[in-house]
Structure 1
Amino acid sequence: MLPSILTFLFAAATLVSAIPRNPPSLVRGGITNDTRAIAGRTFDYVVCGGGRLTEDANITVLVIEAGYDNHADPRVNDVRTYGQAFGSELDWNLTSTPISWQNGSVLPLVAGRTLGGSGSINGASWTKGASSQYDLLPLLTGDDSWGWESFNQYMLLAEHFNPPGEDEIARGAQFDPDSHGENGPVQVSFGVYMFDKPQQEALNASMKVWNKPGLPGIDADIADGTVGRAAIIPNMVQPDASQNRSSPFTAYAQRQVQERSNFVILTGQRVTEIVWEDCPGMVAEGVRFQACRNCTSHFARARREVLLAAGSLQSPQILELSGVGDPVVLAAAGVPLKMAAAGVGKHMQEQTKSTLAYTVQNLEWEGSGPSNAIAFPKVPQILHGNTSATYHWVMNGLPDYAMQLERQDLVVNASAALIPLKAQVNNLFRNNTAAVEVFFWSSPTTNQMGVDLWNLIPLSRGIVHIRTNNSWDHPIVQPSYFNHPLDIMLQTAVSKQTREVFQTQPLAQYVQQELMPGNSVGEDASFDEWEGWVKQTFTSVWHYIATLAMMKEEYGGVVDSRMKIYGIENVRAIDASVLPIQLSAHLSSSLYGIAEKAAVVIKEDQTKAVSV
């Protein structure tokens, strides 16, 4: 499932100069795939992989996007067509490394290849993580401004929340106005066609299964930093009858790029490398890009900064192709080393999804979606009396596990890897945050309903590295699924319990036949049998993060708390690759928050530079 990943977040920064100056001569802003539109020109900021515009006419921004403007395509603008873009020209069509226990098969790794990136083809869910999870970021970065109280303000800044009407409230929509932004560009609403049945029945049944002996009600609004139990969540869709997607492109650039001559989006061009100035230190001069493997290579000059917004799978690729990364990886790919940065492409965290599906009976569908009912069971609700023993088992094993990760070259070193691992485990068990997401979906066209469920906080770590010195060769992506046993334990337990949800009233009245797992897992199947089914049938969730982790350098971080690459004067990463730990949430709101915060820190840094 791609419920809200913005791997290619279309959000660079609001680039504001403190000192006015005469704007350089520039062709009219707009979207073009003609490289002549930028020939011989220098831009203040060059954004690799989508971008967010300046409001200052004195600042020039070039966004280089490998995809095209497909915002009018039904596979993009209609969230209810979710999945139809996967495997198409709108997708990068990447795959994982072979999975040994699945006879060497590979999994598709979806990532949007269009303006707006994955934010243009995802499920458009809008949720936030637990406040205690954001409060781990100051520990990892050394910067208190990344804690919940501060960072949440940037998420609010991106959001334009549209309160539900009477019909939506009658169908289960609840909200806390203080937990939402009012004036941001991203439209967030419950949708005028939101489902009623069977979503409410699904939530009520889930409450009976995971809240034994029972907790009151359904969460009013998980956007307040508390994630647990169950909720009807809003989506990033227009609040009108069109229900069109509110994507990074439509929210931040569609109108602006036509109105402002200082903003150019160049489509159909892939950034192949960063070009470095011939001077002491590491200073980016600009980037090279081309339209195809054998096409002419072009150069775009950056007066101030290069901003990486190509996503968790390809921002590391750009750095490595530019000579920045693990010397061993670069040597194997035939790339001359410019600067050693061992953490590039490591620490990857990806979630794993299992699906249960059912045909329905005696159900008159009410609404057309998109689906937006979610249960968030916590560790004690999943493991029951085994919670304490499991916590101590996991914590006691972390030092050896960290050494294993180091031997596998999945992290920079074991001692550094232990810091975020211990923080995640303590938060998961001690702060009682949501451990698994159970996303209920409805499909009137196939007369089916079911769930996609995934372990939210995987302890497994993976890598993404270049395969060769050619940017047109796909990178090696090794998520290392289920590398830690807690990951498969939680996913298996909730898969087993989810069957119980569909056997519980009031949801059970609509179940006709179980399609997945069906006969593959018997009614009295053991935990081991359920685990075998999970391992053979899981897929990726496509919520990749942490491949350019924003952490202290001694923890194996690649970017600092101001999103600058350590050791490089003028290159930042501003996408999902910097998020150092997974959240009990869909990623969209957090990634928009990262973009909005990037706007502020870039402005602050430029002001300091001018005043020196």
Structure 2
Amino acid sequence: MNNLAPDSKHAIFWKANKSEAANGREAIVPTGGILGGGSSINIMMYARAAASDYDDWNTTGWASEDLIPLLRKIETYHIAPGRATHGYNGPIHVSYADYFAQIAQEYLDVCVKRGIPKVEDLMDLYTGHGCAHLAKYIHPETGQRQDAAHRYIHSQSHNKRLHIMTKTLVRHILFDGIKAVGVEVIGNKNQDKDADQTPREIRARKLVVVSAGAIGSAIVLQRSGVGQATRLSELGVNVVADLPVGANYEDHSSCVITYHVADDVETLDPVMERYPGVMERYLAQFAHGKGFLTSNVNDAGSKIRPTEEELERIGPAFREVWKRQFESAPDKPVFIQTIVNGFLGPRTAVPEKSRFMMLGNIAAYVSIFDPFVLPGITHECKHTGRQPISRGHVYITSANPYSLPDFSTGFFEEKADVEIQMWMYKKTREIARRMPSYRGEYAPLHPKYPKSSSASCVRLDAPPPSDMEDLVYTAEDDIAVEEFVRQYGDTTWHSVGTIQMKPKEKGGCVDSRLSVYGTENLKVADLSILPKNVGSNTYSTALLIGEKAASLIAEDLGLVLP
């Protein structure tokens, strides 16, 4: 997790605008600032979208039947042989690794008792509800991360046609009329304060392909004159193509809930607190691909869909989302939940020599109508309830490459997003309270309940009783839970959608071959092209886009891929 710490040299931290819906906070969204991008700093959790997520894009060549062969091509799946949607000869290794936490098994046991069935393959593309031992992007023999840099790029170090420039910033794309002919770059002062600021041109013989992520690619295109014409003109940027670049930012909201566990439970906490001898012992095991450090401390999890009774309790705003997105698609989870073996935040936020578990709740959707299928509604209008609202956005504020963008995440501007996180907080708590290692809620990172509340946090010295009843929340308690969600709900680092792959008349910026409308020889190949977020962590989909882009580019250039 050091890669995501505030002083990390491997991440880029984007500060969003203050949001009333998030208690006036300025969300911080980290993205990869290292070769391999987010794959080099993520939590290595193996998660894949539902098949219907891809079908929902409604784009020729991008349906699930088109993409499953590429998903198989990507991976070497070590979990079990012969599974139809998995691959067994790809560059990315998928395994359970060597370690499985005690609290992960407790979590699975309780989930089953609470009506969440244990399944063999939670990531088969068709299972929308169940719990499982979670696979990881970790090599089963070495225990090493399976990032794109090591699995795709470093293996090509012998290739004389491959040139990589690190600590380099793209100022803008070079155009000859509407034809992309190269890029202009400078040294990146954010990574090297003495970096050379002399502009250099890199010319392209065939194509310019932008792959800077949902935030970075939107910024590069806008600085280059590809974006909303009125905005760019006001900034003195010459307009090449008038497109809604940056207008449809999406991310999954999340809430991570912290609980005390018994002092004898093995967790990440002694490592984070640098207990004497602990790291040395673990490193000795890891040298042989064994032990605690082969795990991502994320050993079990669930995909969750509410029952009819739970839908009644969640609230009317989410009921509309359910009807629109989930009711007829049983492969879609509403939430992805994982149990984390330790406290991943700053140690100053918790008492010394304490041990914790965290349950992370990731909303696997964005509760927004597509404005282009609702007559009379434009994509810039903002409403609540049953009406569409604007998503987040990423707009440049200057042609200066060091200027910070106008960035909004859109978190919790829709009532349904709040309702569902409140419900999931309560559901999560009932799971945690029944785990044998549970020793109470860590109160500073839970709702501030009224003193008289029967739902107040507790601290236990022994395992919880086996016959406990579910907590009952009053209207006052719900106010506290909503306040908590708005205060602590955050990014899941799943930024997508700022350069959408759709027909131009429906707000699209690129076509099904990833070519930017209104330009020539310019493509975008990253998560920014998603017409709609997937109900999953996004690394798998990022790899998928890379494979699809490679095949499309090869076709355009008349090449045959191996």
Q: CA deviation at 1:425?
A: 5.6
Q: CA deviation at 1:287?
A: 0.2
Change (3 A) 1:318 1:235: same
What is the one-letter code of the residue matched to 2:74?
A: A
Counterpart-to-counterpart distance in 2, 1:348 and 1:201 = 37
- Does 2:499 align with 1:548? yes
Select which of 328, 342, 346 maps to 1:430: 328
Counterpart secondary structure, 2:259 = strand
Change (3 A) 1:221 1:537: closer
8 A Cα contact 1:222 1:231, kept in partner: no
Select which of 211, 235, 238 maps to 1:309: 211
- Does 2:362 align with 1:454? yes
Match of 2:401 in 1: 471
8 A Cα contact 2:95 2:140, kept in partner: yes
Q: CA deviation at 1:87?
A: 4.0
Most deviating of 223-232 and 111-120 = 223-232
The structure, 1 or 2, with the larger RCO (C-alpha pairs under 8 Å, 6+ apart) is 1
Q: Tell me, which stretches of 5 or more residues in structure 2 are unaligned?
A: 190-195, 268-290, 344-352, 369-390, 456-471
Match of 1:260 in 2: 159
Q: CA deviation at 1:429?
A: 2.6
Match of 1:375 in 2: 302
Mapping of residues 48-87 of structure 1, within 5 Å = 81=1, 83-87=3-7
Change (3 A) 1:425 1:111: farther
Change (3 A) 1:103 1:459: closer
Counterpart-to-counterpart distance in 2, 1:109 and 1:537 = 14
Match of 1:65 in 2: none
Match of 2:520 in 1: 569
Counterpart secondary structure, 1:430 = coil
Select which of 205, 226, 229 maps to 1:324: 226
Counterpart-to-counterpart distance in 1, 2:536 and 2:245 = 25
Counterpart-to-counterpart distance in 2, 1:154 and 1:348 = 26
Select which of 180, 184, 197 maps to 2:102: 197
Match of 2:85 in 1: 179
What is the one-letter code of the residue matched to 2:224?
A: S
Match of 1:440 in 2: 339
8 A Cα contact 1:129 1:226, kept in partner: no
Counterpart secondary structure, 1:314 = helix
Q: CA deviation at 1:466?
A: 0.5
Change (3 A) 1:479 1:388: closer
Match of 1:37 in 2: none
What is the one-letter code of the residue matched to 1:303?
A: R
Aligned length: 472
Match of 2:67 in 1: 151
Give the CA RMSD over aligned residues.
2.5
8 A Cα contact 2:101 2:299, kept in partner: no
Mapping of residues 1-150 of structure 1, within 5 Å = 81=1, 83-100=3-20, 104-137=24-57, 139=58, 141=59, 143=60, 145-150=61-66
8 A Cα contact 2:261 2:356, kept in partner: yes
Q: CA deviation at 1:569?
A: 1.5
Mapping of residues 156-555 of structure 1, within 5 Å = 156-163=72-79, 177-193=83-99, 195-209=100-114, 211=115, 216-240=117-141, 242-256=142-156, 258-278=157-177, 282-292=178-188, 295-341=197-243, 343-361=244-262, 363-365=264-266, 368=292, 369-370=295-296, 371-380=298-307, 383-385=310-312, 394=320, 426-432=324-330, 433-443=332-342, 447-459=355-367, 461-504=391-434, 507=435, 509-516=436-443, 517-518=445-446, 520-521=448-449, 522=453, 523=455, 524-525=472-473, 526-555=477-506
Counterpart secondary structure, 2:18 = coil
Counterpart-to-counterpart distance in 2, 1:227 and 1:91 = 32
What is the one-letter code of the residue matched to 2:164?
A: I
8 A Cα contact 2:12 2:32, kept in partner: yes
Change (3 A) 1:82 1:491: farther
Counterpart secondary structure, 2:307 = helix
- CA displacement 1:260-313 (0-9 Å, x = unmatched): 1111111111111001014xxx11110000004671000000011011100000
8 A Cα contact 1:283 1:570, kept in partner: yes
Q: CA deviation at 1:360?
A: 1.0
Counterpart-to-counterpart distance in 2, 1:252 and 1:306 = 20
What is the one-letter code of the residue matched to 1:134?
A: Y
Q: Tell me, which stretches of 5 or more residues in structure 1 are unaligned?
A: 1-80, 165-174, 396-423
Q: CA deviation at 1:187?
A: 1.8
Q: CA deviation at 1:520?
A: 2.0
Change (3 A) 1:363 1:227: farther
What is the one-letter code of the residue matched to 2:40?
A: S
Q: CA deviation at 1:446?
A: 5.1
What is the one-letter code of the residue matched to 1:300?
A: I
8 A Cα contact 1:441 1:451, kept in partner: yes
Change (3 A) 1:468 1:355: same
Change (3 A) 1:361 1:292: closer
Counterpart secondary structure, 1:565 = coil
Q: CA deviation at 1:515?
A: 0.7
Change (3 A) 1:84 1:558: closer
Q: What fraction of aligned residue pairs are identical, expressed as a percent?
A: 24
Change (3 A) 1:208 1:334: farther
Counterpart-to-counterpart distance in 2, 1:86 and 1:156 = 36
What is the one-letter code of the residue matched to 1:250?
A: H
What is the one-letter code of the residue matched to 2:94?
A: V
